[in-house]
Amino acid sequence: MSKSKLGQVLESFENSPGSKSLLALARELNLSRGQTENLVDYWVRKGRIRAVAQQPECHTCGSKKACPFIFEMPRYYEFADE
């Protein structure tokens, strides 16, 4: 039986140390962004994957959270060692 999509997501994080962005994972597993969010969200809820700290709000720059050079801050996740 071939590995489930959920299993592939977890395996991808287990096999590559460090963090990985949602988009990089979507590309790696050939999934849409929404599908990838669903699958990652499942493992986050189960505590097997965790989100890497979000960008803090910047209080010192006029642009605040929305950086003038980036569309949207990429979301990064990593394998949560137990």
Partner 1 sequence: MTQSIALAGNPNVGKSTLFNALTGSRQHVGNWPGKTVEKKEGRLRLDDKDILVVDLPGTYSLTAYSIEEIIARDYIVNERPTAVVAVVNAANLDRNLYLVTQLIELGVPVIVALNMTDVARRRGLAISLQGLSERLGGIPVVETVGNRSEGLDNLKEAIRLVLEYPHTGHIQTNFSGILKEEVDHLRSVIQESETLREVFLSAWLATKLLENDQEVIARLKSQGEEELLDLARVSRERIENDTGEDPEILIADQRYQFVDQVIDSAVERPRETLITRSERVDEIVTHKIWGLPIFLLLMWLVFQFTSNVSGPFLDWVDVFINDFIYKWAGQVLELVGLGNSWLGSLIRDGVIAGVGGVLVFVPVLLFLYLALGVLEDSGYMARAAFVMDRVMRWMGLHGKSFLPMIIGFGCTVPAVYATRTLENEKDRKLTAFLATFMSCGARLPVYVVFGAAFFGASSGTLVFGIYLLGIVVALITGFVMKNTIYKSRPPAPFVMELPPYRIPRPRDIWNQMWERTHGFLVKSGTVILGVSMALWLLMAVPAHQDTGLFNKVEPGDSLFGRISSLIAPAFKPAGFGSWQTTGSLMTGLLAKEVIISTMSQIYAVESHLQNAVETSFSQDLFAVSADFGRAAFLTVQQAVNILPRTINLIPLVDIGELSFLPESSGVEGATRLESSLLRSFAESAGSSAAGPVAAVAFNVFVLLYIPCVSAVSAMRQEFGPRWMWAQIIYTLLIAWTAAVIVFQTGKVLFV
Radius of gyration for the alpha carbons in the chain, expressed in angstroms and rounded: 15
Residue 59 CB, shortest distance to partner 1, in Å, is 7
* Residue 79 DSSP symbol: E
Q: What character string, x for contact with partner 1 (CB under 8 A) and - otherwise, covers 57-76? A: -xxxxxxxxxxxxxx-xx-x
Q: Is residue 16 exposed (0-12), middle (13-18) or buried (19+ Cβ within 10 Å)?
A: middle
Q: Which residues bind partner 1 (CB under 8 A)?
A: 1, 4-7, 17-19, 21, 23-24, 26-28, 32-35, 37-39, 41-42, 45-46, 52-53, 55-56, 58-71, 73-74, 76
